[in-house]
Structure 1
Amino acid sequence: MIKAVFKKKRDNIVSFNIKGHANSAEEGYDLVCCAISAISITIANGITEVAKVDADINTEDGFLSLSLEDKNSEQIHKCQCLMETMLLGLKSVEKNYGEYIKVLVEEVE
């Protein structure tokens, strides 16, 4: 199962991490995994390449994290449309394939 955790601070998403594998089909044919990967990598690239915010990004097999926690409020605000779009996209996948992905939103201080 894939677990996606978004952290919000004062109504702004400041980070996310996605961990695991969907295992909804054999490797190379797992559409849930492909959808999650496409959404998350596109958003990460949008933040760094389009919004031009140097986010802290870590990737490994079955893991992607992005953090804006050390950025100023202007940079965090600049990324909110992309971060909220990502949350919406993953929740949409969860609605249809909830046995393979869990999306959580946590409030942090």
Structure 2
Amino acid sequence: MITITIYKTKEQINGFIVEGHSGYAEEGSDIVCASVSILSYTALNAMNLVAGVSPEFISYEVDEETGFMNMRTLKVNDKTDVIYRNFMVGIELLLEDYSDYITLKFEEV
């Protein structure tokens, strides 16, 4: 099971944690893990390339073996919020068909 926690304030999202593997299929053939991975890495890379947030203002840790990514932006703006919301939309769409393999929760910070 992949657990995704979205960190947010009352106004904006400022990070997320992805933990675990889905168990949907064997490694290398797991479309659920691959989908969550591409959404996560796209969000991470878009912070600098699209939102203009300097790498020193992005805190992240990745362990692909355990399926772990923790990402937070130390500076947020309207573009970072859109990137995080886009990530969330992708996860919610995956949940429509793969809710046995993904859990989404929110934590106010």
TM-score with structure 1 length normalisation? 0.88
Aligned pairs for 1:30-45 (under 5 A) are 30-45=30-45
User: What's the CA shift for 1:78?
Assistant: 2.8
User: What's the CA shift for 1:25?
Assistant: 0.5
Extract unaligned runs of 5+ from structure 1.
none
Runs of 4+ in 1 over 4 A off after TM superposition: none
Q: CA separation in 2, counterparts of 1:42 and 1:34? A: 12
**SS at structure 2 position matched to 1:89:** helix
Q: CA separation in 2, counterparts of 1:49 and 1:66? A: 16
Q: CA separation in 1, counterparts of 2:39 and 2:48? A: 15
Extract unaligned runs of 5+ from structure 2.
none
2:79 aligned residue: 78
User: C-alpha root-mean-square deviation of aligned residues, in Å?
Assistant: 1.2
8 A contact 1:14–1:76 mirrored in 2:
no
1:37-65 CA-partner distances (Å, limit 9, x unpaired): 01111111101222221311111121111
1:93 aligned residue: 94
Instruction: State the aligned residue count.
Output: 104
TM-score with structure 2 length normalisation? 0.88
